[in-house]
Structure 1
Amino acid sequence: MSMAVVGLVAGMALGFAGYFGGFGAFVVVAVLGAIGFVAGKFLDGDLEPGDFFHSRTGDRDDRRR
């Protein structure tokens, strides 16, 4: 499925949630959609946990100088 179709479906889902459920439902659908997107990227192998959690060794030493 192309990214344009995925964007269309996501936009329609957010629109329905906003229309029928109000702003709170809109936010819930948007947050859950973002979580699903990231989970899908992990499952596809496009992201790894190390992309979010990596050490910054040496950064503190540079700021002190």
Structure 2
Amino acid sequence: MSPSVIGLLIGAALGVVAVAFGFWAMVLVALLAAIGYGIGRAIEGKLDVRGVADALRGRRSS
């Protein structure tokens, strides 16, 4: 599946949640999806958790 199709499906799902349950439910679903995506990437070894933590703390890495 291409990134465009995945983005389309995610947008459609968030749209359905927004219509059915309201804006804040959509924001919660989007936040939880992003957290789940990050956890999945970290488990696969494709995300440097220490680098992300340093970036969030304002430390620069090169």
TM-score of the alignment, normalized to the shorter chain, above 0.5: yes
Matching of residues 16-55 of structure 1 within 5 Å: 16-54=16-54
Separation in 2, partners of 1:12, 1:41: 23
Unaligned 5+ residue runs, structure 2?
A: none
Correspondence for 2:4: 4
How far apart, in 1, do the equivalents of 2:8 and 2:33 lie?
Answer: 13
Runs ≥4 in structure 1, deviation > 3 angstroms? none
Structure 1: gaps of 5 or more residues = 57-65
Q: TM-score, normalised by structure 1?
A: 0.69
Q: How many residues of Structure 1 are paired with residues of Structure 2 in the alignment? A: 56
Partners of 1:4 and 1:44 in 2: how far apart?
22
Q: CA deviation at 1:7?
A: 0.7
Q: Quick one: higher RCO (CA 8 Å, sep 6+), 1 or 2? A: 1
Q: Partner residue of 1:62? A: none
Larger radius of gyration: 1
For 1:43 and 1:5, the matched residues in 2 are separated by 24
